[in-house]
Amino acid sequence: MESKINRYSKQLILINSFFILAWLIVSVFPFIWTFWGSFKVKADFFSRADWMFAVTGVNTLIETGDTSTVKAYVESWTEGEFWKATMNTIIITVSVVTISLFLGTLGAYALSRSTYKYTFWILIAALIFRAMPHITLVSGYLFPFFQLNVWGILPTTIIVLVAINQPFTLWLLYSFFKTVPKELDESALIDGCSYFQAFRFVIMPVMWPGVVTAGLFSMMLAYNDFTVTSLLLNQQNYTMVPKINAYLGTIEHSGNYMWAVSSVVSATAPLFMIIMFFQRQLISGLTAGAVKG
């Protein structure tokens, strides 16, 4: 695509490569460091004597007999009940993605095909809802949830996360459905389909690229959430992120700081894998609203 006269000079390429490399180190190194350190003991990862201990694992060798150990992983997964948090995260993430895509596709399809003025106001309302800080919503939930006795359980959190997720999903799928030609479902309507049949047999087969993108964002929201899960779930039902925070805070676990470090790695690794596969969809979703303007 670049024309020949627009070649880069050698210096520019050199400076550029240095800059990119430096920036990559800034953004990636902390994760590599944490990954490496999670196989050490606390005395090495937080070493007063010499930071090199974290690389060589001197104290790890003394304490466990090897330069790296999976002790923190084993303990946090079994004793720390991280497996339970993982299960909860999986349940919440899968349910939130499924339900919010189901509601979102129906709603966004209707919004994109209706020509009445109220669609505009609904979309504006969704935008306002999207901007609400989650913690302000949580402060509104707690009291009614206590009164209704539904606080602390997974289903409540799932519904709340689905609702919080709806505005963004609606906007994303709305702009996606706008790119699907109207003629497609209109011809189906002329052939005698109902709106629902047109949606089911004409739109559904072609909507998957948009749905994957929307699903990816729903997944990230549910998987990464801290505000809602930490305040709406009770200790037994904690998902991964509040669980990690709990490892840090309580006195009970103060000796097991490394649990938090290893759990961070356990929680981040699957997320990175998924993003590696769906990078393209993630970027297209992030730019959906921005580039047109």
Partner 1 sequence: MPHRTFFWFFFPSGLAMLLFIGLPIISSFFQSLHIEPEQILMEVEKCDPFGCKTETKVDIEATTKLQEEQPLGRFNGLGTYGDRNHLAFDEIKEAWTNSSSIAEFTDILLNLPFYKALLFTLTFCFAVTPPVVVLGFIVALSVNTITKSLKGPTIFGVILPMIVTPLIGSLVLFWMIDAKGILGSFIQFLFDDPNLSLKSSSQLTWITLIIYGIWHNTPFAFVVFYAALQTVPQDPIEAAIIDGASRYERVRHIVIPHLYPVATFIILICLMDNFRVLEPIIGFAAEGVAQSLSWMIYNDLRSENKMLFGSAGATSMLTIIGVAILLTPVLIRTWREFRTER
| Span of 58-66, 72-80, 86-94, 135-143 interacting with partner 1 by CB under 8 A | 135-143
Task: Please identify which residue in 65, 133, 192, 205 interacts with partner 1, judged by CB under 8 A.
Answer: 133
Contact between 214 and partner 1 per CB under 8 A: no
| Span of 60-68, 75-83, 206-214, 274-282 interacting with partner 1 by CB under 8 A | 274-282
**Contact call for residues 192 and 82 (beta carbons, < 8 A):** no
Task: Please identify which residue in 87, 90, 122, 153 interacts with partner 1, judged by CB under 8 A.
Answer: 122
Task: Please identify which residue in 34, 68, 98, 197 interacts with partner 1, judged by CB under 8 A.
Answer: 34
Q: Report CA-CA distances (Å) from 208 to 14, 177, 212, 279.
A: 41, 11, 6, 16
Task: Please identify which residue in 92, 170, 211, 233 interacts with partner 1, judged by CB under 8 A.
Answer: 170
**Contact call for residues 175 and 285 (beta carbons, < 8 A):** no
Task: Please identify which residue in 85, 88, 264, 281 interacts with partner 1, judged by CB under 8 A.
Answer: 264
Amino acid 160 reads V
| Complex with partner 1: residue 65 or 258, whichever CB lies closer | 258
Please give the Cα distance from 22 to 37 (Å, whole number).
22
Contact between 275 and partner 1 per CB under 8 A: yes
Task: Please identify which residue in 136, 148, 192, 251 interacts with partner 1, judged by CB under 8 A.
Answer: 136
Phi, psi of 233 (to 5 degrees): -105, 150
Task: Please identify which residue in 63, 195, 253, 270 interacts with partner 1, judged by CB under 8 A.
Answer: 195
Q: How far is CA 30 from the centre of its chain?
A: 19
Angle, alpha carbons 231-154-102 (nearest 5°):
115
Contact between 37 and partner 1 per CB under 8 A: yes
| Complex with partner 1: residue 77 or 109, whichever CB lies closer | 109
Contact between 17 and partner 1 per CB under 8 A: yes
Please give the Cα distance from 269 to 50 (Å, whole number).
28
| Complex with partner 1: residue 65 or 292, whichever CB lies closer | 292
Contact between 187 and partner 1 per CB under 8 A: no
Contact between 56 and partner 1 per CB under 8 A: no
Task: Please identify which residue in 66, 83, 140, 208 interacts with partner 1, judged by CB under 8 A.
Answer: 140
Residue with tokens 């047999």: 201
Task: Please identify which residue in 56, 62, 66, 143 interacts with partner 1, judged by CB under 8 A.
Answer: 143
| Complex with partner 1: residue 65 or 192, whichever CB lies closer | 192
Contact between 120 and partner 1 per CB under 8 A: yes
Which class for 111: exposed (0-12), middle (13-18), buried (19 or more C-beta within 10 A)? Answer: buried
- Give me the 222-261 binding string for partner 1, x by CB under 8 A, dash otherwise: -xxxxx---x---------x--xx--x-----------xx
The CB density around residue 46, as the number of other CB atoms within 10 Å, is 15
Task: Please identify which residue in 90, 153, 268, 270 interacts with partner 1, judged by CB under 8 A.
Answer: 268
Contact between 20 and partner 1 per CB under 8 A: yes
